[in-house]
Amino acid sequence: MPIALFALTIASFGIGTTEFVIMGLLPDVARDLGVSIPSAGLLITGYALGVVVGGPIIAIATAKLPRKTTLVGLAALFVIGNLFCAIAPNYGFLMAARIVTALGHGAFFGIGAVVAADLVPRDQRARALSMMFAGLTLANILGVPAGTALGQAFGWRSTFWVVVAIGLVSVAAILAWVPRARGVMAPVSIVSEFRVFRKKQVWLAMLISVAASASMFSVFTYIAPILQTITGVSPHGVTWILLLFGLGITIGNLVGGRLADWNQMATIIGALTLLTFVLAQFTLSSHSLIGACLTIFVWGLLLFALVPPLQMRVIECASEAPNLASTLNQGAFNLGNATGAWAGGAAITLGMTFDQLPLLGSLLALVGLGVAIFSQGLSRREKEPTPVAAE
């Protein structure tokens, strides 16, 4: 793998850390800024909305710029946003800083994925994407726990100062390692960027991304009460079990990249099939500590085995102008996050118990599987030669 990929990995590690570490720092932030924990929780919602809204806007605005220049600018925006978070004097300022930070999130991963795929031979493209997204998975294993511990020991602002330093390293790495020749896109118009959405396969790939992400967050949002009330794990034990999930998504991301280079749609369909069964049986295995641990590890592995092939699918289906489509697929993942969390909460409100909640996740994964099978069938029909009418 080219060294330029490690520049993207460093940046994705910093972005992943700043996105998720706020969850562990909510009580400290709320106490310091004099707001309630639910109000502090809106900092997470604001960030997600910034990703969904900001990604496409920035992708369109930078459509004619060299990709390397765009990535450097987005990494710099990330540094500035986190700097403002670190010095935020009040809640409103911090919310605005979080949104500024999020604006470049979707565009960075979207355009970065295109650059990563362009750095390697065609038969290694999904593997290259998995290397970039490895920074995001490592953030869940290393960045978030370390950032939370740092913030609790020295104040939540110290975590954002460290993230600023990571961002500066990523800017320097992109400048030094990402080759400009590989990072320059062919001239395209805004019309060309939007024209790719005439393709059904682009929409189908993003719909799979929404369903897969929704299947995760419909259950994962409530994983702590599931483990505590059903499995009988202590709050401290939940942290260690979630490390298994982080290990699973890290391995799954790398394995998914290799499998996708072998057969993209087979990887997507296979992972979704297994994911449907794993989530369904979690209703039973959640009652056992060993069963819950094994399920959570395999669940994470299967879930992130989908990320490289799905991102690669969107890029290939929108090959004429991939920037906007690749960025919107990041928005699709975030839309799935919000949809899944809402669906899980609605199910609980309607009377579904915590140990039944994985059935909802299984159903959402099944929806994604159905879309994937339909997409594969449509792709085969599109490749079939049109029969010539007999004279």
Tell me, letter by letter, the H, E, C secondary structure of 291-308. HHHHHHHHHHHHHHHCHH
For the chain, the three-class secondary structure string (H helix, E strand, C coil) is CCCHHHHHHHHHHHHHHHHHHHHHHHHHHHHHHCCCHHHHHHHHHHHHHHHHHHHHHHHHHCCCCCHHHHHHHHHHHHHHHHHHHHHCCCHHHHHHHHHHHHHHHHHHHHHHHHHHHHCCCHHHHHHHHHHHHHHHHHHHHHHHHHHHHHHHHHCHHHHHHHHHHHHHHHHHHHHHHCCHHHHCCCCCCHHHHHHHHHCHHHHHHHHHHHHHHHHHHHHHCCHHHHHHHHHCCCHHHHHHHHHHHHHHHHHHHHHHHHHHHHCHHHHHHHHHHHHHHHHHHHHHHCCCHHHHHHHHHHHHHHHHHCHHHHHHHHHHHCCCCHHHHHHHHHHHHHHHHHHHHHHHHHHHHCCCCHHHHHHHHHHHHHHHHHHHHHHHHHHHHHHCCCCCCCC
Domain at 1-176: CATH architecture: Up-down Bundle (1.20)
Average pLDDT estimate for 50-70:
83
Mean pLDDT value across residues 316-330: 77
Integer-rounded Cα Rg, in Å, for the chain is: 21
Report the C-alpha dihedral over residues 114, 73, 58, 52, rounded to 10 degrees: 80
Inter-axis angle of helices 235-262 and 125-138, nearest 10:
170
pLDDT at 71: 93
pLDDT higher for 166 or 389?
Answer: 166
Does the domain at residues 195-376 carry the CATH identifier 1.20.1250.20? yes
Contact (Cβ atoms closer than 8 angstroms) between residue 123 and residue 259: no
220-239 mean pLDDT: 82
pLDDT digits (tens, 9 = 90+) for 158-205: 999 999 999 999 999 999 998 875 444 444 556 666 777 778 888 899
Highest mean pLDDT among 48-52, 122-126, 370-374, 378-382: 370-374
Query: What does the pLDDT read at residue 211?
Result: 94
Q: Which tens digit of pLDDT belongs to each residue from 11-59? A: 999 998 988 788 778 788 888 999 887 788 778 778 878 888 888 888 8
Domain boundaries, the chain: 1-176, 195-376
Global pTM exceeds 0.85: no
Instruction: Give residue 168's pLDDT.
Output: 96
Residue 239 exposure: Cα atoms within 13 Å on the Cβ side:
10
Q: At what angle do helices 37-61 and 4-33 cross, to 10 degrees?
A: 150
pLDDT at 121 over 70: yes
pLDDT classification of 217: cutoffs 50, 70, 90:
confident
Q: Please tell me the predicted confidence (pLDDT) of residue 141.
A: 81
Q: What is the pLDDT of residue 380?
A: 80
Q: How distant is the alpha carbon of residue 236 from its chain centre?
A: 26
Topology agreement, domain 1-176 and domain 195-376:
yes
Which pLDDT score, from 0 to 100, does residue 188 have? 55
Contact 18, 157 (CB under 8 A): no
